[in-house]
């Protein structure tokens, strides 16, 4: 189960997975933006089944395709201490046999009709999706509802799949310097919150996961009253409602999950540094991160201001960081900023860069720090904000111009404590951000004495003027460093 989608403004990606938070997408022009907002406000419907399952219907009749997604409101941050990796492990187990169907039959049926399927686990949710023709919607609903209730597990199945996820960790994380550093940074940035633990889990705890753990997790969390069903595409409300009642409506409510209460972060007052030198690293890079409120936890207007701050500071090749370090000075091969605001609890804000030619990590870091200091001291201009806002909205709306994207937007947002209204009103809230709001959040959250700086270097490298990098060959691109707050695993 592996594929990846790059970050669009604040998309969440780690170890080959995908998540598309609602604020990460907007239409590509004013016309499509208007069309999107009208569709969102007028056509999106939601209702609850008697067993507590929330159902969201997003009609889009432009193509004869339906996206069907089930979002369970449980992720790795909900795991019991010592059981890290159980959420992702259980995602794998959901593809095994049920009382009614043999292992693999659901996947085969989807493939036979030319459909697509996948699943992914994050800190805050686990999702399963299929894309099929409208005529196959009842079929995928039947199979998905069946495994919500009738999964069969035994010692052999658990042992075999545990070996699979252990190998996944070894290949994706333990053999990848960027991923290893990201884990260390995450465990440093989050001192108390379970976001400090990798979604895939710590190896020594994954090795101990057993049948009893899996069954307990299934009974507690895979209950209809802890899930949201999102159906988007060539469908109508009446059809979806009838099919949902016929399939999911039969699944009993097995448990009362209760409020999601997690350990929260204490006040942070230290500047921390994490570094990794590895012979497999050819391009040195650095990243500086801060805790920042998410859309779900921020005060009104803060998350929107942080999103626009990231765009102005380093969200595109027109941003301050890119223009100063990559274009004007030529000291950086790559540099930018981004905001991770799609989580249930606190998110993060980050800047990053890699040197080019005679440039050094020290120079790149100092150049980025200078751009942050400028905004904190002098703020941004009205014209700069307006241009950034327009770029931001256009890029986001373009991604929203997809029925699958819409399903992910609604599913991820509703799984992290927000509402349909939050999604629909987001463009208006972005438009209300003022220049003073940008300066205020920069002052409040980009405090150097509360940052975590990481360095990824070639073996024996140091984060100073001795570490130099050759310019990339023509046509090569520099990847953004992997980031700890981007926790999704497929």
How far apart are the C-alpha atoms of 82 and 205, rounded to whole Å? 6
By three-state DSSP, how is residue 415 classified?
Answer: coil
Contact (Cβ atoms closer than 8 angstroms) between residue 427 and residue 37: yes
Taking the CB of residue 288, how many other CB atoms lie within 10 A of it?
22
Residue 332 · residue 354 · CB < 8 Å: yes
Length of the chain counted residue by residue: 490
Q: Which residues pair with 454 in a beta bridge?
A: 274, 287
Half-sphere exposure of 140 (CA within 13 A, CB side): 30
- Starting at the earlier edge strand, list the strands of the sheet with 116-122: 45-48, 54-59, 227-233, 66-72, 126-132, 116-122, 488-489
E runs forming strands in 160-258: 227-233
d(CA 62, CA 290): 42
> Exposed, middle or buried, 120 (CB in 10 Å: 0-12/13-18/19+)?
buried
Catalytic annotation, pick one of 37, 54, 79, 91: 91
Q: Which two tokens stand for residue 339?
A: 């905001």
What element of type H or E holds 58? strand 54-59
Is 91 annotated in the active site?
A: yes
Are 203 and 166 a contacting pair, CB within 8 Å?
yes
Cβ atoms of residues 228 and 49 within 8 Å = no
The residue among 66, 68, 43 whose CA lies nearest residue 244 is 68
Whose tokens are 């490298």? That residue is 461
Q: How far is the C-alpha of 419 from the C-alpha of 409, rounded, in Å?
A: 11
CA 202 to CA 397: how far, in whole Å?
Answer: 37
Neighbours of 228 (CB within 10 A): 24
| Residues that are catalytic | 91
């Amino acid at each position: 189960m592996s594929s990846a989608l790059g970050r669009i403004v604040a998309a969440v990606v780690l170890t080959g997975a995908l998540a598309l938070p609602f604020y990460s997408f907007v239409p590509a022009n004013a016309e499509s933006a208007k069309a999107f907002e009208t569709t969102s406000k007028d056509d999106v419907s939601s209702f609850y089944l008697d067993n507590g399952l929330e159902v969201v219907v997003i009609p889009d009749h432009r193509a004869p395709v339906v996206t069907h997604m089930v979002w369970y409101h449980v992720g790795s941050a909900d795991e019991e201490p010592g059981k890290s990796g159980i959420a992702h492990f259980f995602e794998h187990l959901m593809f095994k046999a049920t009382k009614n169907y043999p292992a693999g039959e659901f996947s085969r049926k989807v493939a036979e009709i030319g459909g697509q399927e996948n699943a992914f686990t994050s800190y805050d949710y686990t999702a399963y999706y299929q894309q099929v023709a409208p005529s196959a919607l009842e079929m995928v609903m039947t199979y998905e509802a069946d495994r919500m209730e009738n999964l069969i597990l035994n010692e052999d199945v658990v042992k075999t799949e545990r070996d699979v996820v252990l190998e996944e960790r070894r290949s994706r994380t333990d053999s990848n310097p960027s991923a290893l550093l990201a884990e260390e940074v995450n465990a440093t940035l989050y001192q108390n919150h379970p976001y400090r633990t990798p979604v895939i889990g710590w190896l020594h705890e994954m090795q101990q996961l057993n049948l009893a753990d899996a069954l307990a997790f299934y009974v507690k969390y895979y209950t209809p009253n802890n899930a949201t069903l999102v159906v988007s595409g060539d469908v109508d409300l009446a059809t979806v409602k009838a099919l949902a009642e016929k399939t999911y409506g039969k699944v009993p409510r097995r448990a009362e999950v209760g409020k999601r209460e997690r350990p929260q972060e204490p006040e942070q007052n230290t500047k921390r540094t994490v570094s990794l030198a590895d012979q497999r690293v050819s391009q040195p890079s650095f990243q500086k991160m801060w805790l920042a409120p998410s859309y779900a936890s921020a005060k009104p207007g803060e998350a929107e201001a942080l999103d626009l701050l990231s765009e102005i500071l380093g969200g595109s090749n027109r941003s301050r960081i890119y223009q100063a370090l990559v274009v004007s000075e030529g000291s950086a091969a790559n540099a930018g900023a981004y905001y991770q605001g799609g989580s249930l609890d606190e998110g993060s804000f980050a800047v990053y860069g890699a040197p080019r030619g005679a440039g050094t990590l020290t120079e790149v870091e100092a150049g980025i720090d200078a751009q942050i200091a400028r905004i904190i001291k002098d703020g941004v201009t009205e014209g700069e904000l307006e241009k950034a806002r327009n770029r931001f909205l256009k890029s986001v709306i373009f991604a929203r111009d997809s029925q699958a994207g819409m399903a992910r937007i609604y599913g991820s947002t509703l799984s992290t404590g927000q509402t349909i209204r939050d999604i629909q009103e987001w463009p208006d809230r972005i438009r209300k951000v003022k220049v003073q709001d940008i300066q205020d959040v920069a002052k409040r959250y980009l405090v150097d004495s509360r940052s975590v700086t990481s360095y990824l270097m070639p073996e024996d490298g140091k984060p100073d003027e001795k570490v130099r990098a050759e310019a990339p060959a023509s046509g090569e691109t520099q990847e953004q460093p992997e980031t700890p707050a981007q926790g999704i695993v497929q």
